[in-house]
Structure formats: structure tokens, C-alpha cells
A and B are shown apart, each in its own frame.
Chain A
Amino acid sequence: MQHPSFDRRTFLLGAGGALTLAALPSCSTGGTGSEAPTTDNSGVELPSYIPSTGVKPDLQGTPEGVPDGFFNYPADQHRSVTETPGAGESISGMAMISTAVPPTRSENAYWRELEDRLGVSLDLMMTPSADYDQKLATVVAGGDIPDMVQIRDAPDLPRLLESQFQDLSEYLSGDAIQDYPNLATLPPLTWRGAIYNGGIYGIPNPRQAIGSYVFVRQDIFDSLGLSTEPENLDEFLETCRALTNAQENRWAMGDSGSAAALVIMGMLSGVPNEWRNENGSLTHKYETDEFARSVEWVTQLWQDGLMHPDTFASSDTSGQWFHAGRTGIWLTGNGHWNSALKNHPTSELGLMTLPNWDGGGLAPWRLGSGFFSINAFKKAEPERIKLLLRVCNWLAAPFGSEENYLRAYGLDGVHHTVDADGNPTLTELGQAELRLPVSYLAAPPTPLYTPGRPDDTRVQHAYQSEVIPVGEPNPVIGLYSATDADDGVRLKQTFDDAVNDIITGRATISTLTESVDAWKRDGGDAMRAEYEEQLAAYPID
């Protein structure tokens, strides 16, 4: 299931970027043989951005991050890679999988076809996403690291990358990426997630800039005659009240914990995307009055019984609630649109825009990080690294290319069937065999395209066109704070717990100030100083 997972993403972003040795208290004892990451990020040149021009979209995207929209799969598929990447070498990879595992290679025509086109034999270790971090730790500790490893998060990530994985800067920085034109179609924001220790440490798995959608059950909204475009806080709360009917087991929203509600109410209130950057000085969202206000609003939602009563139960069943009609509003990753069509065809989806609380237009939108994970390469000879880059270049073939079509839909007549407009539908065999998680190794930016449902593309494109212009990025993406990496998760949990105490009525709103002070004292201020120092050395454009 797609889930926004704000904690993790924030953490990963915090961990992204430069690591100066002096910033790591543990290294100051020195002389222990732990290799010190040596450079900061100011020397990194991001790969040049050369968007794909192979196909003309039905709805044009924007440089700010609205993706291209397609009604049908482009008819003339061009070849984006002229030479077979490999010459019979054997390469290995490791990636997560969130479905059942696909059939093994000997019984998987898709896998064999990919290998054939890539010119390599591709061994892929697949681990369920829930166990992935543990598996990664085991593999690293065991020392037998595959050539390519998907990494989302790991303790002490910069040092792990430095000690085991290849700095790809010399192959990808600036115009060097022209050797791999398909990788050059990844936008600069996406690459920021792969920057550590002053180098580029992997191929990012791109995500659309919008990050998440505020999904609504359009069928429920329609039957109650509700608008998905409330114009101020009161109208939003009115909508929540109208959605809620406890006797019928239906509430306005519900997630695992208060994070999603805090993000929604935070946008209405004008809470910054983690940090607010004013000419190089940072203010964390916790410190803002807007945040305190959003906590009060979520408290009100909870006390008025507008949130699912099991919101604070630990297991995350928010997707089930939404699709069962138990909740009407759900904030989650925007990629959920297409997976919902497949898994929950009976839920009619809609999207809600959020207004400024006082009615002055749309609220600032909290943009996503632009990436999901990175694919890091084990240290190797230049020839080997170039081979892996060529393989990734093939896998990142842009939408509308022959390679992309094969990667996404397999073989015609075997893995998919084509309708009159040229839109592929995966067959049962295709759905099973295409579970092979190669897209985590490398993938192009995804456009908006829902096979056979042009209106879905229109709705999403219109929504993104409205929301992206008011989008706010997290200003510390690609920067590194040792304090955030070491203590960020723990501090956040302590703080979240205090906020949940307020929301559920175990504490009063007046305790929020104490929690903010404690957060600042225990590490918040140190994070700010570290980020500000880097922001000065490495301004984000």
C-alpha cells in the first residue's frame, strides 16, 4: 500500500547530503580506523537535466513539477537506446517488493526478455518492503553486497554509503550524464535525494513533485451533495461534519495516528514544509504559531468525533477504511490513484483542494521529496560501473519509448492486450510476471496516464496544475544534519507523542510550548544550526 510515511521521508531527507567529519561527535575521538566522510556538498554538481522530447503529451506539464498527461499510450514508440547495454555479464541487484514475488526466472518470460534486451543476466534479490531495512542491514553486515542495492533508509547512511558504495559523481555530474541520456531526464530535485558526502551515491527512484493527494470518495461526496473545493476553514469543517455519521460507521477522516490530519490542517493553517527558510535563517514548523493552531484544529476534529475512533490504534488500516467508505477524506501518496483503480474498482475517487483557513485562495501545498529511494552501486572498477549505468539508462527509458513500453507492459499478446486506442491492459500472466521490481533500480519520471481512462488523467492534471503553483518544497532536502540523522527520529517521536496527548485530551494545548522547548533543547536548535550552515554554503536554487 502506498502511504505518505512522513516520518521516514523527513528522516531520509534530513540524512541526505553532506557529512562533515567534525559534525560527527563519535569521530572526534579519532584514530579508530572508521573512514571519515571527507567533503561537504558544496562541490557537488547535479547532473544536467535534459528532458525527453520523444513524444508529445496530450496535456503539457510544467517545469515546476506538473507532469505531462497522456490519454492514450503514444502510438509511435521510438527507441531510446541503440546499443545493448551488456555483453553477457552477470549482475546482481536487491530491491523491495510490496506484492507476492513474481515467478522465478526459468518460468518468467518477462524476466528473460528483459535480460535479453539488457544483454546481462540479472539476479534480483527481492525482499518484502516491511522487512527491507533489516534485510539490508543483514546483507551489509554479511559483506556480500549485490552490485545494485535499493536504499530507502539506514542508520548512519552517509557512512554506509562512503564505506561500501560507489561515488558516481565522475560519471553523472553535469554534462557527464549525457552518456546516459535517459537518466538525464530525471529532474534536478530528484537527484538531491542521492547526494551524500559531497557526491552522487545512486540513481534516485523518482516521484511526482506533488507527493500526495487529498483523496476523497467522490461517490460519498456526491450522494451528500458536498463540494471538494471548500473555501475556508469553516467550510472544510462543515464538510467533515456532513461526512461523519457514527451510526453508519462513517467519519470524515482517519489514519494511523494524527500525522495525516496534522498535514491537512497544517496546510489550511499555513504550516511550513518542515522548515521555513527566510533568507537563510530557518524556522522549524513546530516553532510556528501556524502549527500550534493546526494542533488545536485537529484536537477539535478528534474531540468532535469527526475522525475514525481507531485513528490512534497502531496498525495502519486507513486505506481499508477509505475504500470501505468508513472515511471520506484520505491523504496519501498520489501513486495510489492507479493502484486503487486496480484493487478497489468500486471506490469512485476524487481530489480535494485545501483553502487558506481565512478564505484567501488555495493553501500552500506541501510538496513531496521528489524521490522514493536510491539505487546505490557497490564499489567496483569503472568498466563495471559503466555497465550498471548503461543498464539503468535502459531501465529509465522515458514514457513513450519502446523500452519503457516493454518494461512497463511486457510482451504484446503474452503479458498484455491492446485496445482499439492502443492502450495496454495487463493479462493475468503479465500481472504476475511484471511484479519484478526493476523499477526500483531505475525508472523515468512518471507522467499522468491511466490506460483507457482519459478523464482520470484530466482530473489529476487539473488538480496538479492548481496545486503545484502554490507548492512549497522542504528547504533542507539534500542537506545533512548529523543531529537530525542521529536523534531526529527519537525527537520527533517524543514530540509527536506530546502532540497526540493534546489531541486526545490527555494534556492541554498549553503544554505544547514545553514540548517545543524540549525539542529545541534536545536537538532542534542544533539541527537548525547545522542546516543553516549548509544552506549558506550550498544554497538551494
Chain B
Amino acid sequence: MLGLPGLAVVVLFNYVPLLGNVIAFKDYVPYVGILESPWVGWQNFQVIFNGDPEFLTALSNTLIISLVQIAFVFPVPIALALLLNSLVSERIKRVVQSVLYLPHFMSWVVVVAIFQHMLGNAGLLNSWLRSQELVTLPIIGNPDLFIGLITSQVIWKDAGWGTIIFLAALSNIDVQLYEAAAVDGASRLRQLWHVTLPGIRSVIFLMLILKLGDVLTVGFEQILLQQGPVGLHASEVLDTYVYRNGVLSGDWGVAAAVGLVKGLVGVMLVLGANRLAHVFGERGVYSR
């Protein structure tokens, strides 16, 4: 009974807007409204099923960037958390933590501008190289380095923030386990392998599953802001594709269609990964 207002809010703000997805099947015109816009069936999904080359480029870039980021970005907060956890002095730990958290609160515009001013072709590094008559390093604007660049930006910005959950998990590990391991003569490395990692394993799995749900979503603002120098071929991802085709050209139906498919794929990945986790005896996102 007391939960009713909460339920109403959830329904109103989380489920009712889902109905808006119906515009994926319409030639939606904002000024005439959802109901009045003509029904076009699966026409908006043509770009996906017919394999529009731009769409395929965007899809493959998205998947590559996602996989690279799962491989290189995902473990960083875990490693950082372990390092932080091994700090003995509480004060140093807190200072280091604060320093690591800070970049998370900067907007992407600022982060991109900072990188631009440091590494840009007329930035600090290259201006110095030029003044020393050395060869300049075109880091920004080199399509081959683009994925590396945005991945390092993500690490710089969000790795510290990502440690929070792992630190919480680490603090939940029973200290007695370490004591017992130490009594048994386990080295620090052994303790890490046999006590610490198993202790946070379920959290790692949980985070990984949630991350998989986002596999088709990679930093929209971050990438949109940096497409100019490297061109669309290297940098177009699904979100920027939707922005360009849906929002900029007013083709809301196609944008909604791609968004809908993205959402469905995300849900399937989460459910699939969750099932896999259950097979391995983990709790996953929820237990059965």
C-alpha cells in the first residue's frame, strides 16, 4: 500500500515512455504528434536489415571500441582498488582516492578540450616539439590512434570513480580469512589470489554483466566531439549515427528504430550473460 506512489512513479517515468518506442514504426513528425503520424511498419528498420554501409561501419566501430574498452578499461578500476586497498595509511588513501575521483566530475567537453590542448597538433606537446625543430606527433587526428585515444580518456576520467564499488566489496571480505591464510604461510600474492579475488568475484561478474548490456553504447559526447579530426570512418558509432540520421535530419523514426534494436540487444546480452553466470555458479544480476 505504501509502495503505491513509488510504483506509480516507476510506471509513469520508466514504463509509459517505453510506449514512445512506437514511433520506430511510424514516420514520426513532432508537430502532428505520435498518434497522427502515419504508420510505416518495418520501413524504419531497413537500414539495419538491408545493411546500410554507414550503419555497418557504425556497428563495427561500436563493437570494436566496446570490446577494447571491456578488455582495457574494465580491469583498471579493479587493479586500482586492489592497490588502494593495500595502502596502509588511511590519510594517504583518502587523498589518493579524492584525486582519482575528481576527473569523473568534469564534463566530456572539458576533458576533450584538455586533451586537445595537451596533445593537439597546435597543443602544448607539439608546439614544444615544433619550437625545438623536432618531428611533431599527430596524436589527435590520426585515425589509427583514435580508439587508443578515447580509451585512455575513459581510463583517465572514470577509472578512479569505478573503484568505489570494488573498494566496498573489498571491505566486506572477512579479515579472519587473511589472518588464517597468513597463519598457513600464504604470501601476499597468494592471499590476493585465494582470498581477495574470490571475495570480490561476484561483484566483478555483476559489473561485467551490466557492462555487457551497454556494449552497443559507447561515449556519445566524447566521440561526437572528436569526430572532426579523424573522419567518420574511424569514429562513427551507433549513437552518433542515430544523432546524425535521426536528430539532425529529423528522421525520428529511424533513430527510434535503431535505438529500440540497441535496447533489445542490450537486454538479451544481459540475460544471456546472467544465465552464463548462473551456469558458473555465480549469483549474477539476480538469482533464480
Contacts and interface: CB of A to CB of B under 8 A. Distances in A.
B233 A249 contact: no
Given A156-B29, A314-B227, A501 B130 contact: no
A513 interface: no
A497 B120 contact: no
A32 B36 contact: yes
B87 interface: no
A314 B225 contact: yes
Nearest to A490: B249
A501 B233 contact: yes
A29 B38 contact: yes
A257 B230 CA distance: 11
Given A32-B36, A156-B29, A506-B231, A249 B127 contact: yes
A310 B244 contact: no
A489 B250 CA distance: 10
Given A155-B250, A497-B232, A506 B143 contact: yes
B228 A34 contact: no
Contacts of A141: 30
A459 interface: no
B30 A486 contact: no
B163 interface: no
A466 B248 CA distance: 38
Given A155-B249, A256-B228, A26 B30 contact: no
A159 B37 CA distance: 13
Given A26-B29, A34-B38, A504-B141, A309 B122 contact: yes
A493 interface: yes
A309 B250 contact: no
B5 to A, nearest CB: 26
Contacts of A155: 30, 249-250
B88 interface: no
Given A26-B29, A315-B116, A493-B244, A310 B122 contact: yes
B36 A247 contact: no
Interface string A183-195: 0000000000000
Interface in A291-347: 308-310, 312-315, 326
Contacts of B121: 309-310
Interface in A466-503: 486-490, 493-494, 497, 500-501
A140 interface: yes
15 contacts: A26-B40, A29-B39, A33-B32, A137-B30, A249-B127, A256-B228, A309-B126, A313-B120, A313-B228, A313-B229, A314-B225, A486-B249, A487-B249, A493-B248, A504-B141
A-B pairs, top 6 by smallest CB distance, nearest first, are A155-B250, A309-B121, A314-B228, A26-B27, A312-B229, A32-B38
Given A159-B29, A249-B127, A490-B251, 19 more contacts: A35-B32, A155-B30, A156-B30, A159-B31, A159-B32, A160-B31, A163-B31, A246-B130, A247-B133, A256-B228, A309-B122, A310-B229, A312-B228, A313-B228, A315-B116, A486-B250, A490-B249, A504-B141, A504-B231
